[in-house]
């Protein structure tokens, strides 16, 4: 999480001048949310600390020390720890902001990562935590750092994820820590990677997706060793820089899903849960609601343990996490304000004691301006835990149902992918991600009033299994009136049940705690509970089996009645609210004027081309290594045209298309779509459909579900998609209802074309649309493109199949060595022909007659055809001679094709390196 909000700096002098008064007034107020005061200085350090169980290992850590430029005497310090796989460089913005607030800040790269020495011990108390204690010693020896006593610096510790756990564990192991702000982190890794959501003593289900990301992304030896290699690197290619015991624990879990005691002990040692009861430092716990790795329950466990020890603790939830924040600046500002308030009070002694209130947020809508979801913030008097302050009970309906577990859990349901869970959930809204036959569904009636769910819903299930065991995945969907379902943040409750009967009648009732969420279920929506046998994020049983499951009717939803935070980025004195509003309005006006002028400057329109789909003028693209992909290209695509972009490999076709789609910026020149200059994110791109550099679809979804997911991600109105028309033009037929994993390459191409056609954009841009298609499919694609270029629409298509371009396109642009060598109607480029194609009744006789006429060459062309080089002989004389010899001439046409013209234009040129 970045703690610094950096507004774009206006570049025009009049904008700066107009802003000056606003800046002066803002300076009188202070930062408001995260005030940045004086500047800072920084210096890189290589700090050697004593580590290891016996304190006999020296580890050198790559660090950076920041100091406020203006300070009076010693200042408090903040130790910043990075996330797993990161380095000190990831903390630059945070450190600069804190130094600007008057803190001495030390960032460092944990051992086993980047340029630091040592191995990855997964926050071992004997290694990473002891390393951090050595850094506290280093801070205590600095003359700039304030001391509580000799060897005891006034210090706070903050960090996210891996760094958040370190803050908790260091505070539990070293009482010199004065305040901590851990975020999006864990309590107990045994619960994280062996998740269990039922009231049973059975071991949890292995979270294989996230475990693989942890192990795969952090074990590599660094490649940037220009300043000398770090020491202590494990060169075992199977383990990389992981310590041997951590490596073995991962293989143990990933192989069987059933850890031995040594693995459990290691996970427990690497968890705050082991020492959290010893924390005395005031703790602000910040946890994300979009997090399939460390869900809200991990922060809840930390909060309860710290509070039980009598230590001051406060909890805040925000709409973000390991699966990505949704980009709400106001939500981030709330978190930044709370962090600054906490550190200032407990390290500097500034400001009133932070209140006991609990703040949280939920998604409230979509902002087209900011291109992201918007959140609303709420405040409650005290932290309610995961059970809420109230409960709403709903009745589920549905009979007992059999569900099948496939071998090795394959195919598996798609609920989340590491790092994308929240966004994937939104993308899959309205799309069935569960596998038929592998899940049971239970649903409520439409709710009469909206329900604000804040916490962990609960449901009771019964299950029977012929093997006596079952692994299940329970999830809660919010289903709107159209039937579109949303799984909040991709969160799933994995359940491993043992000692099950073969019959449901004898099955015990189990209470399932679903992951905690923050969600408003709107009036008219229904709630759907799905019990599935597979999930790609978790390890499923190897042996196939069929279970029977029944969900009890009562579904309990925890609720909280929160007070809206009018402006989540402020939480400060009301007397300043009016002044702040005036500042914001004044600044907004200034920036709006500047932005409009900038848009006019950077995104000009040309009324002369307002009705022309595409105008390319003087386009050039050169790369930093000196390679020139496009030298100079200019052409126009008019309404009703199908224009073919032709050229040998390396001619610059794909680069040209990428520029036209705003995927890369040209070095010179411009592309205008309906009179608007193309730049990345141009609104006019909504009038363009494209297939560039190949299609990509989710394999377990049908073609139609993929198209719906794509359209939903655009944020455009559903009615604008015009699905039926696009599907009819693409000619997919009933195949659109099949899962794309069963599609042939040709069907995937046609689905990609249909996706590009959604909304029936006025300009369609296609890169090699017939790639991999067989002849019948190519012929059908030819008809598709011709049908599309009607009603004033236009098509630009890049292809190497010249015969197809000749039969499909009305116009062609031939590119060679980054320049256009010919353009215009295909017929004009083909031109007059020196040869003809004959269809005759008697091929042998025709060959004899033509030989007597002295034509240059005669070649067969099918059972009744001949290709004849006229060698200057008039066409009429050839026909007359054949007729006099008794040979019927059924057809005679010029033979020169686009391929002939193309070869004449570009010769044998090829760069041999493919298009760039």
pLDDT tens-place string over residues 136-151:
999 999 999 999 999 9
Higher pLDDT pick, 8 / 447: 447
Least confident of 158-172, 421-435, 701-715, 836-850: 421-435
65, 418, 765, 795, 829 from 812: Cα distances, Å: 61, 45, 14, 11, 8
- What tokens appear for 235 in the block? 């060169």
∠ CA(408), CA(411), CA(417), 5° rounding? Answer: 100
Higher pLDDT pick, 232 / 484: 484
Looking at residue 896, its pLDDT comes to 53
Looking at residue 367, its pLDDT comes to 45
Higher pLDDT pick, 529 / 674: 529
Interatomic CA distance for residues 284 and 507, integer angstroms = 43
Interatomic CA distance for residues 208 and 689, integer angstroms = 38
What integer is the mean pLDDT of 169-173?
A: 97
Least confident of 69-73, 424-428, 644-648: 424-428
Output Rg (C-alpha) for the chain, integer angstroms.
Answer: 34
Max mean pLDDT range (348-357, 711-720, 728-737, 900-909): 348-357
Looking at residue 229, its pLDDT comes to 47
Supply φ then ψ for residue 198, to 5 degrees: -110, 160
What is the percent of the chain where pLDDT is above 70?
A: 79
| Each residue's pLDDT tens digit, 383-417 | 999 999 999 999 999 999 999 999 888 888 888 77
Residue 252 binned pLDDT confidence (cut-offs 50, 70, 90): confident
Interatomic CA distance for residues 184 and 803, integer angstroms = 58
- Cβ contacts of 394 within 8 Å, gap of 6 or more: 444, 447, 527, 554, 555, 557
| Selection from 251, 81, 96, 279 nearest residue 171 by Cα | 279
Looking at residue 284, its pLDDT comes to 97
Higher pLDDT pick, 313 / 27: 313
Its CATH architecture, for the domain 40-189+272-380, is 3-Layer(aba) Sandwich (3.40)
Is residue 134 predicted with pLDDT exceeding 70? Answer: yes
User: Which CATH superfamily does the domain covering 390-563 fall into?
Assistant: Galactose-binding domain-like (2.60.120.260)
Peptide bond into 17 cis (omega under 30): no
| CATH fold of 608-829 | Rossmann fold (3.40.50)
Domain ranges of the chain: 1-32+577-602, 40-189+272-380, 390-563, 608-829, 832-895
Max mean pLDDT range (215-224, 277-286, 614-623, 746-755): 277-286
Is residue 188 predicted with pLDDT exceeding 90? Answer: yes
Residue 371 binned pLDDT confidence (cut-offs 50, 70, 90): very low
Higher pLDDT pick, 98 / 699: 98
Looking at residue 901, its pLDDT comes to 58
- Cβ contacts of 617 within 8 Å, gap of 6 or more: 634, 669, 670, 671, 672
Interatomic CA distance for residues 739 and 735, integer angstroms = 9
- What tokens appear for 872 in the block? 């200057």
Supply φ then ψ for residue 216, to 5 degrees: -75, -35
Looking at residue 450, its pLDDT comes to 92
- Cβ contacts of 495 within 8 Å, gap of 6 or more: 196, 197, 198, 200, 205, 461, 470, 471, 472, 473, 474, 510, 512
| Each residue's pLDDT tens digit, 431-462 | 447 888 999 999 999 999 999 999 999 999 99
- In CATH, the number for domain 832-895 is 3.30.70.100
- What tokens appear for 605 in the block? 């329109």
For residues 361 and 317, the answer to whether their CB atoms sit within 8 Å is: yes
Q: Give long-range contacts, CB 8 A cutoff, 24+ apart: 681-688.
A: 681/371, 682/603, 685/661, 686/716, 686/759, 686/761, 687/761, 687/762, 687/763, 688/661, 688/761, 688/762, 688/763, 688/764, 688/765
Angle in degrees, 0-180, between the axes of helices 703-714 and 745-757, rounded to the nearest 10: 30
| Selection from 688, 817, 836 nearest residue 764 by Cα | 688
Interatomic CA distance for residues 543 and 406, integer angstroms = 7
What integer is the mean pLDDT of 86-93?
A: 91
For residues 333 and 324, the answer to whether their CB atoms sit within 8 Å is: no
Looking at residue 590, its pLDDT comes to 47
DSSP state of 223: S
Is residue 470 predicted with pLDDT exceeding 80? Answer: yes
Least confident of 277-291, 855-869, 896-910: 896-910
Residue 30 binned pLDDT confidence (cut-offs 50, 70, 90): very low
Higher pLDDT pick, 606 / 758: 758
Higher pLDDT pick, 807 / 812: 812
Q: How many CA atoms lie within 13 A of 765 on its CB side?
A: 22
Is residue 648 predicted with pLDDT exceeding 90? Answer: no
What residue has token string 């008697």? 842
- What tokens appear for 749 in the block? 């191409």
- What tokens appear for 72 in the block? 């009076």
Identical topology for domains 608-829 and 832-895? no
What integer is the mean pLDDT of 656-676?
A: 83
Interatomic CA distance for residues 470 and 498, integer angstroms = 7
Q: Say whether 812 sits in a helix, a strand or coil.
A: strand
What integer is the mean pLDDT of 799-817?
A: 79
What integer is the mean pLDDT of 470-491?
A: 90
Looking at residue 420, its pLDDT comes to 59
Is residue 258 predicted with pLDDT exceeding 70? Answer: yes
């Amino acid at each position: 999480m970045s703690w610094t909000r950096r507004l774009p700096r206006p570049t025009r002098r009049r904008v700066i001048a107009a802003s000056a008064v606003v800046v002066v007034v803002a300076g009188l107020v202070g930062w408001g949310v995260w005030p940045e005061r004086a500047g800072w200085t920084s210096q890189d350090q290589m700090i050697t600390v004593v580590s290891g169980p016996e304190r006999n290992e020296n580890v050198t850590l790559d660090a950076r020390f920041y100091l406020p430029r203006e300070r009076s005497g010693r200042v408090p310090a903040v130790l910043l720890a990075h996330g797993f796989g990161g380095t000190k460089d990831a903390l630059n913005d945070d450190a600069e902001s804190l130094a600007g607030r008057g803190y001495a800040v030390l960032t460092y790269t944990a051992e086993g990562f980047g340029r630091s020495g040592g191995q990855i011990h997964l926050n071992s108390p004997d290694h990473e935590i002891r390393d951090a204690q050595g850094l506290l010693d280093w801070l205590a020896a600095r003359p700039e750092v304030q001391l509580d006593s000799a060897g005891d610096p006034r210090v706070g510790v903050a960090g996210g994820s891996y760094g958040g756990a370190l803050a908790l564990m260091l505070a539990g192991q070293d009482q010199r820590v004065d305040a901590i702000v851990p975020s999006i982190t864990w309590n107990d890794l045994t619960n994280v990677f062996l998740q269990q959501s039922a009231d049973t003593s059975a071991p949890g289900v292995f979270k294989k997706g996230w475990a693989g990301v942890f192990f795969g992304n952090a074990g590599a030896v660094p490649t940037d060793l220009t300043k000398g290699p770090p020491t202590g690197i494990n060169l075992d290619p199977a383990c990389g820089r992981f310590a041997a015991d951590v490596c073995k624990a991962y293989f143990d879990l990933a192989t069987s899903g059933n850890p031995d005691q040594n693995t459990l002990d290691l996970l427990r040692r690497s968890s705050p849960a082991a020492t959290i009861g010893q924390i005395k430092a005031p703790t602000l716990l910040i946890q994300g609601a979009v997090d399939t790795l460390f869900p809200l329950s991990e922060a809840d466990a930390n909060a309860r343990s710290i509070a039980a020890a009598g230590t001051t603790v406060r909890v805040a939830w925000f709409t973000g996490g390991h699966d990505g924040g949704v980009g709400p600046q106001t939500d981030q500002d709330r978190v930044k304000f709370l962090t600054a308030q906490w550190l200032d009070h407990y390290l500097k002694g500034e400001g009133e004691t932070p209140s006991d209130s609990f703040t949280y947020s939920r998604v409230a809508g979509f902002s087209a301006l900011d291109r992201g979801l918007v959140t609303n913030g709420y405040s409650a008097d005290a932290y309610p835990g995961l059970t809420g302050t109230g409960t709403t009970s709903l009745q589920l309906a549905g009979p007992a149902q059999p569900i099948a577990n496939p071998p090795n859990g394959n195919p598996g349901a798609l609920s989340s992918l590491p790092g994308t869970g929240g966004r994937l959930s939104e993308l899959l809204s309205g799309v069935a991600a569960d596998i038929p036959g592998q899940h049971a569904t239970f649903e409520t009636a439409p709710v009469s009033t909206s329900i604000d769910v804040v916490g962990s819903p609960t449901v009771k299930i019964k299950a029977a299994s012929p093997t006596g065991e079952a692994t299940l995945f329970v999830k809660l969907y919010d289903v709107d009136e159209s039937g579109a379902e949303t799984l909040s943040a991709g969160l799933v409750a994995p359940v491993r049940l043992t000692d099950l009967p073969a019959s449901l009648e004898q099955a015990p009732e189990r209470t399932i705690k679903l992951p905690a969420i923050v969600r408003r279920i709107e009036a008219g929506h229904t709630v759907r509970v799905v019990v599935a046998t597979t999930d790609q994020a978790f390890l499923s049983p190897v042996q196939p089996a069929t279970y029977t499951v029944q969900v009890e009717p009562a579904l309990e939803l925890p609720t909280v009645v929160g007070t809206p935070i009018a402006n989540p980025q402020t939480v400060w004195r009301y007397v300043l609210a009016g002044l702040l509003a005036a500042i914001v309005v004044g600044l907004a006006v200034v920036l709006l004027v500047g932005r409009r002028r900038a848009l006019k400057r950077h995104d000009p329109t040309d009324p002369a081309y307002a009705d022309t789909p595409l105008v390319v003028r003087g386009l050039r693209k050169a790369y930093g290594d000196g390679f020139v992909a496009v030298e100079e290209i200019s052409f126009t695509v008019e309404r009703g045209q199908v224009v073919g972009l032709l050229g040998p490999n390396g001619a610059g076709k794909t680069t040209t298309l990428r520029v036209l789609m705003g995927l890369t910026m040209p070095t010179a020149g411009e592309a205008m779509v309906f009179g608007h200059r193309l730049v990345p994110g141009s609104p006019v791109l909504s009038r363009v459909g494209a297939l560039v550099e190949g299609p990509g679809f989710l394999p377990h979804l049908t073609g139609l579900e993929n198209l719906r997911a794509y359209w939903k991600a655009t944020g455009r109105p559903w009615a604008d998609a015009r699905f039926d028309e696009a599907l009819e033009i693409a000619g997919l037929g009933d195949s659109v209802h099949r899962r794309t994993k069963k599609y042939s390459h040709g069907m995937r191409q046609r689905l990609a074309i249909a996706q590009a056609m959604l909304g029936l954009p006025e300009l369609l841009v296609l890169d090699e649309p017939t790639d991999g298609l067989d002849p019948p499919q190519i012929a059908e694609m030819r008809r598709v493109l011709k049908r599309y270029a009607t009603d004033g629409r236009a098509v630009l298509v890049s292809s190497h199949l010249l015969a197809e371009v000749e039969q499909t396109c009305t116009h062609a642009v031939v590119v060679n060595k980054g320049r256009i060598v010919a353009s215009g109607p295909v017929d004009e480029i083909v031109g007059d022909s020196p040869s003809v194609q004959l269809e005759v009744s008697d091929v042998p006789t025709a060959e004899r007659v033509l030989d007597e006429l002295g034509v240059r060459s005669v070649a067969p062309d099918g059972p009744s055809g001949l290709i004849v080089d006229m060698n200057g002989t008039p066409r009429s004389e050839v026909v007359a001679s054949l007729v006099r010899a008794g040979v019927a001439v059924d057809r005679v046409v010029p033979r020169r094709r686009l391929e002939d013209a193309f070869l004449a234009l570009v010769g044998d040129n090829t760069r041999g390196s493919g298009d760039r």
